[in-house]
Structure 1
Amino acid sequence: MGPAASIMISALIGVLFIVAAVVVAFLTPKIALWVESFSAAGGLFASRRRKATPVEEKNTAPKKKKLNLKTLWGIKDIKNGVIIMDDDSYRMILRINPIDFMLVSVPEQTNIESSLMALAMSLSFPVQVFTTSEMVDAREVITNIYKHAPSLPEPLRDYSMELAAYIDALTANRSVNIRRSYLIISLDKDPKGFKHAYQELLRRSMIVANGFSRAKIVVDILDSNAVIDLLYNVFNGRSMFRPSEAVDAGALELYKGGMQLVFPEAS
């Protein structure tokens, strides 16, 4: 083979490589699209794939996270009336027993306003005001009326029974609500532990209570049961159930003790 033939063959091979490169560059995007659609359709075994049953779909579906006090508000525990948060900060709640401001005299109104302003100016720690609507729970009042009504004179006895029935009907209809206000005393994480934090919260609460007492307003520190009832009422405002009553009745006890039976010995 002469030099001319060798040059011609080399040129032909080069042209073939160029043509092959152009064809590959042209077909590569189309091949990629075809592979993508083929994979989305299930590949070679798409027709053989079994449809998942409802039970399997339910098991594979992402489970919804249950909502509770820890996930909603970050509450870790409630101890001695103190709410312990996830970040180890603390909260103590005070309930304000309201007075009818419009029924007091003008000098008394001025004294109330001055006392509350003086208290607000003297605070050196955070205090949050929380107001909620609560149903009137008159069950204890109704029970006391029925208990003492028989010992009253006849006119008062009849009036007491009618009054108790009227209050009971209002409570059953769940149509009577009152607005209550609370104060939340906060304390950041205390390196000295819970006991020291509890004493500091008590000190702060007494400062607030004394300030309100100058305005003739009574403030109560909630215990653990009252705190639990308040938190329950926030989520279940139209329920008469009180978790503290269930706990006092033994709802958290593993078992209830019974009466011991004593059999006489056989003679």
Structure 2
Amino acid sequence: MADTETQAVNTQPVSPTKGKVTQKASKDGSNSTLRFLPIAEIHDDTVVLKDGTVRGVMEVTSVNFSLKSEAEQNSIIYSYQQFLNALEFPIQIYIRSKKLDLDDYIAKLSEVADQQPNPLLKNQTLEYIQFVSKLIEYADIMEKKFYVIIPYDLTESSTKKGLFRLFLDTINPDDSIAKYKERVRRFSTMKKGLQQRMNIAQAKLESCGLQTRILSTKELISLYYSVYNPITSMSQKLKEANVNQTKKQ
């Protein structure tokens, strides 16, 4: 995930459409501030930024540290220390809290109720659906997820760019055909390097007793859509989750 993924962005919502994620054109025809987002494409379980660098995202489980014995706590601390010491590249840890979304779960229960031949069981299922819906509405239940973002750059040039180049990238954030061709040419090599880093991080985190899972293309698009559109994403679901690419129109 790019360094700017958690900053507030006042922009038109991303419109979920089949085959790609695009921005809605404003009424006056002006460019949306979405053009300032660093993401160029999302495909092959990888986030590709406009500067040509790539990102992989892992979802990581948590452990209830306070319920562990002292010996178990020391073991976890030591394993995590080993994980940090083994890193030869930067990582980003992203913790996200959001309201629990059980729409898919409720939809499945509704299908079960519709197909239930037993009137008593059908009525009980409908009552349970109503109970869960009211509980979520009034209890405001939150869920917390943890992500580790791994970057990769062939030249690790993010700190080697001159100030003038960084200034130009800031004032001219638009994508271009030249940038796109360069990303395509480098992607295969970048993907291999990123995968090696992801494997290292996974192995070390799992030694801490944590479970890890690399996000797929669909999951990456859904994650970024909800991060950049926190309000819209609650009412306008990204139904076309088979999107395989994000790009500027």
- TM-score w.r.t. length of structure 2: 0.62
Q: How many Å separate the matches in 2 of 1:83 and 1:143?
A: 30
Identical-residue share of aligned pairs (%): 21
Measure, in 1, the Cα distance between the counterparts of 2:241 and 2:75: 42
Aligned-residue Cα RMSD (Å) equals 3.4
Provide the rounded CA distance (Å) in 2 between the counterparts of 1:223 and 1:94.
Answer: 9
Unpaired runs of 5+ residues, structure 1, are 1-61, 250-267
Distance 1:113 1:163 in 2: 42
Match of 2:130 in 1: 165
Please give the secondary structure, in 1, of the residue aligned with 2:101: coil
2-side partners of 1:235 and 1:136: how far apart? 17
**Correspondence list, 1:99-248, <5 A:** 99-146=63-110, 158=124, 162-172=127-137, 175-189=140-154, 193-238=186-231, 239-240=233-234, 241-243=236-238, 245-248=239-242
Return the offset for 1:194: 0.9
The CA distance in 2 between the partners of 1:92 and 1:201, in whole Å, is: 7
> Retained in 2: the 8 A contact 1:96–1:182?
yes
What residue in structure 2 maps to residue 4 of structure 1? none
Q: Matched residue pairs, number? A: 185
Go from structure 1 to structure 2 and tell me whether the alpha carbon gap of 1:229 and 1:116 turns closer, same or farther (over 3 Å shift): same
Look up the equivalent residue of 2:97 and give its one-letter code. Answer: S
What residue in structure 1 maps to residue 48 of structure 2? Answer: 84
Does the CA contact (< 8 Å) of 1:128 and 1:185 recur in 2?
yes
From 26, 30, 33, the equivalent of 1:67 is 33
Q: Deviations over 1:161-203 (max 9, x none)?
A: 5443222224456922222221110111469721121121111
What does the per-residue CA deviation read over 1:23-82, in whole Å, with 9 as the maximum and x for residues that have no partner? xxxxxxxxxxxxxxxxxxxxxxxxxxxxxxxxxxxxxxx9754111x413x211112121
Give yes or no for contact 1:130–1:182 (8 Å, CA) kept in 2: yes
Change (3 A) 1:66 1:146: closer
2:32 maps to amino acid? K
From the two aligned structures, give the one with the greater helix fraction: 1
- Alignment partners' CA distance in 2, 1:188 and 1:77: 16
Q: Partners of 2:224 and 2:138 in 1: how far apart?
A: 23
Output the CA distance in 2 between the equivalents of 1:178 and 1:205. 25
Residue 70 of structure 2 is aligned to residue 96 of structure 1:
no
Q: CA deviation digits over 1:145-168, x for unaligned, max 9? A: 45567599x79x84x654432222
Amino acid at match of 1:202: Q
Higher relative contact order, chain-length normalized (CA < 8 Å, sep 6+) = 2
Q: Which has the larger radius of gyration?
A: 1
Give, in whole Å, the separation in 2 of the partners of 1:75 and 1:217: 29
Q: TM-score, normalised by structure 1?
A: 0.58
In 1, Cα distance between equivalents of 2:241 and 2:112: 28
